[in-house]
């Protein structure tokens, strides 16, 4: 099945072909006809599946097909609104809109916070057919009456689960009140919690439902390993591994911004060029870090889950979980950064005594044997007791003012409240830890 046979116009197919895509991905095969039909859509797909083109291509087709002739007075209206949880994702989606739409006469704009609002106000005075925005800044514009959403025909909520995790539900509801009830709505989400189902029920009208398999649930190309190590010796072990194996382009995950900053600084001191990327960084700093990481001049990028989500860094050789995520599904997102497009990747988790329960959760979700190995020289000290992980932070990494920026509640269907002890109640967590075993003395 080709893009042309899905019913997309010649201009769009040409742009896609130039991008190097020959065949639609499974999500595109299902989403493109559904969106072209004009109906609502509820799609279960995560980053890496090709979901962006899955909605961008048919939206471009529909808007170009039914071009507005240009009003007799005033500027043409915004016709499609794409909401994303993060600035990086907004930038990437808008780049896709521009690239796939380069042979069409449609204008797009991205809009997010953390940057001066005035250039955005200026741009909104020109023709914008497709607006890609994060909710907070969009509402700022709405309040200042610098954006008019009253003619939006198509609305997309991209990574809706992440938007809810980041506390955007009220913003989304306010935005809904500003756009016409009569519209096409597309909701993309990697997970389907009860919250997402409620949101979908309230926003979608008799939607087509599609779901593609989790990309990485069976990603055979990713080698996954865990090392048992003391909480306070993780950085030492990471430095050792990076230097010993001469790793480059290592994406390292921490649970909190504070931990990301601290680790990046420490690695830098160890002579390993590293930068942190998270919501408190300026847009310029994030863009620079990402660029240097992509072009290979920055050896290590330390990221929080939220900052990294949606960033398209392809074919990473190494992803390291410096701290395991509180929500096992985030592990799948994290390691999905490696081994893309047929290249091999390695995902490594550094697991301390506090995190055995989290490791067991991940092993259960991914159906993998993730037994933590012990590296000679880094044997965990059995006298160290497990401590609860509160608000995503371990002792020593505890920020003064809480965890991840906007209140993030890692509560997904069937998961636990935010502030829970890693041991699932605190009582003897080590007793439920997966068995540890020693490697044969090799550091591989
Ligand atoms: P996404 O899930 O939208 O973040 O896309 C993940 C990656 O897949 C991006 O790097 C896209 O450029 C790429 N991609 C999207 N569609 C295709 C396709 N049909 N063939 C090959 N690569 C694709």
pLDDT, position 440:
33
Give the closest residue (by CA) to ligand 1 atom 19: 24
Residues 21-63: pLDDT tens digits? 888 988 999 999 999 999 999 999 877 788 999 999 999 999 9
pLDDT, position 329:
80
More confident residue, 278 or 312: 278
Q: What is the DSSP letter of 373?
A: E
| CA neighbor of 296 nearest in space, from 273, 312, 266 | 273
Give the closest residue (by CA) to ligand 1 atom 12: 50
Token digits of residue 221: 């190309």
Which atom of ligand 1 sits closest to the CA of residue 49? 2
Give the rounded distance of the alpha carbon of 58 from its chain centre: 23
- pLDDT at 72 > cutoff 90: no
Ligand 1 close to Cβ of residue 51 (< 6 A)? yes
Give the pLDDT mean for 353-370. Answer: 88
Mean pLDDT, the chain, whole residue set: 83
Hey, what domains does the chain have and what are their CATH numbers? 4-211 (3.40.50.300), 222-432 (3.40.50.300)
Ligand 1 close to Cβ of residue 50 (< 6 A)? yes
Å from CA of 91 to ligand 1 middle: 15
Å from CA of 341 to ligand 1 middle: 9
Band of the pLDDT at 275, cuts 50, 70, 90?
very high
Ligand 1 close to Cβ of residue 54 (< 6 A)? no
- pLDDT at 356 > cutoff 90: yes
Give the closest residue (by CA) to ligand 1 atom 15: 50
pLDDT, position 37:
96
pLDDT, position 235:
97
Give the pLDDT mean for 216-240. Answer: 83
Give the closest residue (by CA) to ligand 1 atom 20: 21
Question: CA 439 to CA 394: how far, in whole Å?
Answer: 27
pLDDT, position 193:
81
CA dihedral 273, 279, 281, 285 (to 10 degrees): 70
- For residue 318, the cross-strand partners are 250, 346
Helices (H) and strands (E) in the chain, counts: 15, 15
Give the pLDDT mean for 112-132. Answer: 96
SS3 351: strand
- pLDDT at 164 > cutoff 70: yes
Give the pLDDT mean for 177-182. Answer: 96
Band of the pLDDT at 73, cuts 50, 70, 90?
low
Give the closest residue (by CA) to ligand 1 atom 11: 50
Ligand 1 close to Cβ of residue 134 (< 6 A)? no
pTM for the full predicted model: 0.59
Å from CA of 45 to ligand 1 middle: 12
């Amino acid at each position: 099945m080709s893009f042309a046979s899905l019913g997309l116009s010649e201009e769009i197919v040409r742009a896609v072909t130039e991008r190097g895509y020959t065949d639609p991905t499974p999500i595109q095969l299902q989403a493109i006809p559904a969106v072209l039909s004009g109906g609502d859509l509820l799609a279960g797909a995560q980053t890496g599946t090709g979901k962006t083109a899955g909605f961008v291509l048919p939206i471009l087709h529909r808007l170009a097909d039914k071009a507005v002739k240009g009003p007799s007075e005033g500027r043409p209206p915004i016709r499609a609104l794409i909401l994303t949880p993060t600035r990086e994702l907004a930038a990437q989606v808008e780049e896709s809109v521009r690239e796939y739409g380069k042979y069409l006469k449609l204008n797009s704009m991205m809009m997010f916070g953390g940057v001066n609002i005035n250039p955005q106000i200026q741009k909104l005075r020109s023709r914008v057919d497709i607006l890609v925005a994060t909710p907070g800044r969009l509402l700022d514009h709405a309040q200042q009456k610098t954006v008019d959403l009253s003619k939006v025909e198509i609305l997309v909520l991209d990574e809706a689960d992440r938007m809810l995790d980041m506390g955007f539900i009220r913003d989304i509801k306010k935005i809904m009140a500003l756009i016409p009830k009569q519209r096409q709505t597309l909701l993309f989400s990697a997970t389907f919690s009860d919250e997402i189902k409620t949101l979908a029920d309230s926003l979608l009208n008799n939607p087509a439902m599609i779901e593609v398999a989790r990309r990485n649930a069976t990603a055979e190309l990713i080698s996954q390993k865990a090392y048992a190590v003391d909480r306070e010796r993780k950085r030492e072990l990471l430095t050792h591994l990076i230097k010993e194996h001469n790793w480059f382009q290592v994406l390292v995950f921490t649970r909190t911004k504070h931990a990301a900053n601290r680790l990046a600084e420490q690695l830098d001191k160890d002579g390993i060029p590293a930068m942190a990327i998270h919501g408190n960084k300026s847009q310029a700093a994030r863009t620079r870090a990402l660029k240097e990481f992509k072009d290979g001049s920055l050896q290590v990028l330390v990221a929080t889950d939220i900052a990294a989500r949606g960033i398209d860094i392809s074919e990473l050789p190494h992803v390291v979980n410096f701290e395991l995520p509180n929500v096992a599904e985030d592990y799948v997102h994290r390691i999905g950064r490696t081994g893309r497009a047929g290249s091999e990747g390695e995902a490594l988790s550094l697991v301390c005594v506090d995190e055995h329960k989290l490791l067991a959760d991940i092993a259960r979700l991914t159906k993998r044997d993730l037994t933590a190995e012990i590296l000679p020289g880094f044997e965990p000290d059995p006298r160290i007791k497990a401590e609860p992980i509160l608000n995503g932070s371990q002792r020593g990494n505890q920020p003064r003012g809480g965890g991840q920026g906007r209140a993030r509640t890692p509560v997904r269907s069937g998961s636990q409240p935010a502030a829970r002890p890693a041991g699932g109640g605190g009582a003897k967590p080590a007793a439920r830890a997966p068995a540890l075993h020693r490697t044969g003395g090799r550091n591989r």
